[in-house]
Amino acid sequence: PIYLSLTTNVVSAAIRESAQREQLEATQTILQSQQNLAKLINQQFAIGTVSKIDTSSQNTLVANSQSQLYSFDKNLSVTRNMLIAYIGSYPGSADLPQFRLANLHLPNEIPKVIPTDLVRQRPDIRAAEAALRASNAQVGVATANLLPQLNLTAAYGSQALTTTALFGPGTAMWNLGAGIFQPLFQGGSLRAQRDAAKAAYEQAAANYESTVVNAFQEVANALKALETSANTLASAASAEKNAGVNLNLVTQQYKLGSTNYLAVLNSQTQYQQAKINLIQAQADRYTSTAALYAAIGGGWWNRSGSAYLGREQASSSTIAPAQ
């Protein structure tokens, strides 16, 4: 479970870093376009063709984009430092590549139906199942302890039928009686041990049931998230494309004097938000896929070799994108 959690965190951090870097770059491009338009509007204001409201509105939009740029830059640094810490290195000392969403690839086939045997491979289910079997075995041991601990042979039937032979100290028949009654003489101790073993078994059974229910819940949620992320990505891509076309048309109309500045301002805002939403939708698509593989155990049973690479090897390695 620890290895699975670590690898999931590494993949999620790499995807998040990619998204934040591309959001940063997209905002830089948008900011440059906004600044160019601000210069044009300031020139028009100087000759009296636009109002002060137009220039202040565009300058406000530029300032907001700059503020958003600083926020993306900070988040990118925090995420990258987190990713470096996950591989066991220190900020500034790890030679990690700059991940790009365009260089990541979804698996060729993503399962839409997860069979029970695949979910059963999850480490938490395997651990709960092993604990349940161990508890069941302890119940059997505790129950067996209630029986007399002795070996019966034919020699007992050949003993002389005398008082001394039957009940004398150290005789076979006396030892036989002691072996039979020993569990009874221990009072409720052995029964208490058996009851405790049964209680432990019931607890293990409840834990196993809870683990299985939680596992299937996580898998179901991951499948739904995967479906939702695919639909969201398609919608975000369409919105970004249409917003870009609209911005280009409105900007050209504004330069020709056939539309007012308010239309340009609205188009810029819509495109900026659509571009950021598209990058986030792309990242969510990758993250949802990684979450599904984590929910079904991450395929650890197919892994060979040691799970631990060591600090030096890990810091110099790259995170291979899913194929």
For the stretch 28-60, pLDDT in tens is 988 888 888 888 888 888 988 888 888 998 899
Question: Is the pLDDT assigned to residue 252 strictly greater than 70?
Answer: yes
Mean pLDDT value of segment 55-81: 90
Give me the chain's average pLDDT, please: 78
Pairwise CA distance, residues 288 & 224, whole Å: 9
Mean pLDDT value of segment 257-281: 86
Pairwise CA distance, residues 306 & 119, whole Å: 23
**pLDDT at position 60:** 92
Tell if the pTM clears 0.75, that is, is over it: no
Question: Is the pLDDT assigned to residue 85 strictly greater than 70?
Answer: yes
**pLDDT at position 188:** 67
> DSSP for 161-202?
-SHHHHHSTT-HHHHHHHHHHHHHHTTTHHHHHHHHHHHHHH
Higher pLDDT, 189 or 80: 80
Question: Is the pLDDT assigned to residue 241 strictly greater than 80?
Answer: yes
Tokens of 287: 């993250």
Pairwise CA distance, residues 164 & 179, whole Å: 19
Residue with tokens 């809870």: 210
For the stretch 127-183, pLDDT in tens is 888 888 888 888 887 777 766 555 545 444 444 444 454 445 545 544 555 555 555
Least confident piece of the model among 40-44, 243-247, 305-309 = 305-309
In percent, the amount of the chain with pLDDT more than 90 equals 15
Mean pLDDT value of segment 279-300: 84
**pLDDT at position 265:** 81
Question: Is the pLDDT assigned to residue 190 strictly greater than 80?
Answer: no
Higher pLDDT, 190 or 315: 190
Residue with tokens 């409201």: 53
**pLDDT at position 183:** 54
Tokens of 260: 């007012």
CA 33 to chain centre: 38
Question: Is the pLDDT assigned to residue 312 strictly greater than 80?
Answer: no
Mean pLDDT value of segment 231-245: 94
Residue 312: which residues within 8 A CB-CB, separation 6 or more? none
Length of the chain: 323
Region of 310 please: left (phi>0), alpha (psi -120 to 50) or beta: left
